[in-house]
Amino acid sequence: MKILLVGSGGREHALAWKLTRDDPTVEIIAAPGNAGIAAIARCVPTKVTDLDGLIALAKAEGVAFTVVGPEAPLEAGIVDRFRAEGLPIFGPTAAAARIETSKHFAKSLMLRSGIPTARAETFTEVAAAKAAVRMHSLPVVIKASGIAAGKGVVIAQSLEEADAAIEMMLVEQAFGAAGAEVLVEEFMQGEELSLFALTDGSHLLPFIAAQDHKRIGEGDTGPNTGGMGAYAPVAIATPALMDEVMGRILRPTLAAMREAGCPFTGLLYAGLMLTADGPKVVEFNCRFGDPETQALLPLMASSLLTPMRAIARGESIAGFLPLTWEAGASVTTVVAAAGYPGRVRSGDPIEVPTDTASRWTFHAGTTRDPQGTLVTSGGRVVAVTAVAPTIAEAQRVSAAGAAAVRFAGAQFRRDIGWRELARG
């Protein structure tokens, strides 16, 4: 069986790794892939937004189905285009992907459907946005409505900081079209969880919960990034909490999407805040999260390939058994380039540790130069995942693996999973 995998990040490397473990005979074609993916798949230089090229590739290769990793091709309508050509594909339509690509759409959907989330208003004018800030208590959250690689969120501690964030997005256009519309949102206090669920539009196969670490610095300090690491499982994600999330958030969201005329299929990602009033939605993503995917898939005992293929074909997953998971804990530590999450340099030679039976390096921003040398090509360069009987041991092994990654200016956090360790 051939599978076309669209994307080039650590998430896609982890997906390729898991799918080939589920079925070692599967052949994966990655577009465009990266240097790590090239070790287990055939990479072709087709861009993720070249929909005509991807359709031609899927037809020429006779792939059984296509898996879409990043949000950009989903926003561009890759699923709609593939379905129109009769090509099975895993992911939501462009209309359904708005649950991530338009925070205005997502917030309106949740408020209209009674799905617990923070109060927010949407603005395109600076003066109106600044006036709304003064109706909120501090801190207040300023968000770019569109997709901004996990960086379009500012938690403003003062009116001056909030005003500056609004001007950065609406006037300076720091996030381009993604920031042409902003949300002024109530700040929610609590601990965050990331919850994935495979869905055919009506039925759900939830994963165990993970926790992402967005801030660049240890102790959750500094600016937001696309994610500096993640761990799973999370002790506070009890069966009772998971049932509450399914009943109050995930199932109602699928129903609301169907009622809106854009049923959601693929991987629904709920970013949650566990507040004093219960779990509330921070944001939805329309695809696998990064770096949570690198932490979760090594713990996944059941097949990912089988339900993904069914969903891609438009089949029901109603009869599927719940997903099963290995014992122990997983910690993923991201190694980022100097300057991240700002401007970074590319082309620095990299050395990575050899994988072991319980530790793996997933490539994200890597490529080969004309001489065949492995070099950096992005902000988040690699992620090192370790699985161990305890969270403490998984953190130790993951951090040691990250320290063994060598390139100029490498930076990483040694405290991934610190909240879990603090719980004892």
Domain boundary among 312, 341, 372: 312
Inside any domain, residue 352 = yes
Question: What burial letters (b/e) apply to 216-225, b meaning 16+ CB within 10 Å?
Answer: beeeeeeebb
Residues 364 and 261 in one domain: no
- Alpha-carbon distance 269 to 69, whole Å? 13
Residues 83 and 125 in one domain: no
Domain boundary among 287, 312, 337: 312
Q: Which two tokens stand for residue 49?
A: 């937004």
Bridge-based pairing state of the strands 359-363 and 380-388: antiparallel
Residues of the chain under the 50 pLDDT cut: none
Residues 207 and 175 in one domain: no
Domain boundary among 253, 281, 312: 312
Residues 196 and 304 in one domain: yes
- Alpha-carbon distance 292 to 196, whole Å? 9
Question: What is the predicted pLDDT for the residue at 153?
Answer: 86
Could you give the strand order of the β-sheet that contains 27-32, starting from the edge strand earlier in sequence? 42-43, 27-32, 2-7, 65-68, 89-90
CATH of the domain at 416: 3.90.600.10
Residues 251 and 363 in one domain: no
Inside any domain, residue 287 = yes
352: which residues sit within 8 A by CB, 6+ positions away? 361, 363, 374, 382, 404, 405
Q: Can you give the pTM of this predicted structure?
A: 0.93
- Alpha-carbon distance 258 to 116, whole Å? 18
- Alpha-carbon distance 190 to 192, whole Å? 7
- For 144, 171, 281, the CA distances from 179, given in Å and listed in that order, are 4, 9, 21
158: domain range?
119-186
Inside any domain, residue 39 = yes
- List, for residues 255-314, the tens digit of each pLDDT value: 999 999 999 999 999 999 999 999 999 999 999 999 999 999 999 999 999 999 999 999
Inside any domain, residue 317 = no
Residues 43 and 29 in one domain: yes
Question: What is the predicted pLDDT for the residue at 106?
Answer: 94
Residues 137 and 231 in one domain: no
- List, for residues 30-47, the tens digit of each pLDDT value: 999 999 999 999 999 999
Residues 287 and 196 in one domain: yes
Inside any domain, residue 106 = no
| Structural domain total, the chain | 4
Question: What is the predicted pLDDT for the residue at 176?
Answer: 87
Inside any domain, residue 299 = yes
Inside any domain, residue 86 = yes
| Cα end-to-end distance, the chain, whole Å | 45
CATH of the domain at 264: 3.30.470.20
Inside any domain, residue 107 = no
Residues 339 and 257 in one domain: no
Residues 348 and 416 in one domain: yes
Question: What is the predicted pLDDT for the residue at 146?
Answer: 83
Residues 78 and 152 in one domain: no
CATH of the domain at 157: 3.30.1490.20
Question: What is the predicted pLDDT for the residue at 316?
Answer: 98
Residues 179 and 201 in one domain: no
- Alpha-carbon distance 20 to 138, whole Å? 48
Class of residue 335 by CB neighbours under 10 A (exposed 0-12, middle 13-18, buried 19+): buried
198: which residues sit within 8 A by CB, 6+ positions away? 204, 205, 266, 267, 307, 308, 311, 317, 323
